[in-house]
Chain A
């Protein structure tokens, strides 16, 4: 169906050239040579429990939103916290806080970023085993990911373990 070599995605196609050059300058030329973590998925998708994680700054209206005011004061800082998003959340339940993208589309249709409805359909159709009760959002602009990795990530992992999550689809903003 798809090949590793047919279409090559240009990650900067939608950016103005000057911005692409500025962001791209820190990306090394050679391929990554360090170790990459790996957990094999040893069962069919239709028996697997999934959760969804996005970096788009989505929060339930009943929770505090991601802190954009502090980022405006400290441009190199990004909110390292995370939010739980129940699999039943709809557009009217959520707030979307992000200073680097137009958040309007997500507010019209949450699935463009966090495909809750699509995965619920896949579960019903037997494409996947199930969608876990809880999905997650954190905030993708992190020049220093230390707090995110040391505090938010383990808490998300614990909740995932409690819900028997086996696989995660990540959708960055």
Chain B
């Protein structure tokens, strides 16, 4: 879209992808997947996030900058229930690899 002549800001929960795919302006937020703007019916919270994301249009001076938004999600990650009810096909396909990686990580600790 940027190459087509539109200025863009990406409000993302995974700014790490910036290393893989150069993104023009990144507003990074530490919120769970599926709710980048905020909690259900939290109008004020959503407004604050959006105003911060909009300010990146003004503050970004060159491509590839990442602005970390200062908001903290109020729930513990394990309580956020962001995952789909059924495991996604790609994860299901690679489940053995993922579990093996998990086991390896636990052994390293």
Q: Report which A residues bind B (CB closer than 8 A).
A: 1-19, 21-22, 24-32, 34-41, 45, 48, 53, 56, 71-72, 74-76, 98-103, 105-106, 108-109, 111-113, 115, 118-119, 121-122, 127-128, 141, 143, 153-154, 156-157, 160-161, 165-173
Contact of B101 among A5, A18, A103, A118 (CB under 8 A): A18
Known contacts A2-B69, A2-B70, A45-B57; is-contact A106 B34 (Cβ 8 Å): yes
Known contacts A105-B40, A118-B50, A172-B10; is-contact A14 B33 (Cβ 8 Å): yes
Task: Tell me the chain B residues, 45-66 only, with Cβ under 8 Å from chain A.
Answer: 46-47, 50-55, 57-58, 62-66
In this assembly, does B74 line the interface, its C-beta being within 8 Å of a C-beta of chain A?
A: no
In the complex, A119→B53 CA distance in Å?
Answer: 12
B19 touches A27 (CB 8 A): yes
B24 touches A112 (CB 8 A): no
Contacts of B19 in A (CB 8 A): 27-32
Known contacts A36-B22, A99-B84, A101-B84; is-contact A24 B16 (Cβ 8 Å): yes
The dominant DSSP class at the B interface is mixed
Shortest beta-carbon distance, B107 to chain A, in Å?
A: 12
A38 touches B41 (CB 8 A): no
Query: In this complex, what residue of A is CB-closest to B71?
Result: A7
In the complex, A153→B8 CA distance in Å?
Answer: 14
In the complex, A74→B58 CA distance in Å?
Answer: 42
In the complex, A28→B57 CA distance in Å?
Answer: 27
Contact of B84 among A100, A109, A143 (CB under 8 A): A100
A19 touches B91 (CB 8 A): yes
Shortest beta-carbon distance, B77 to chain A, in Å?
A: 5
A172 touches B6 (CB 8 A): no
Shortest beta-carbon distance, B63 to chain A, in Å?
A: 4
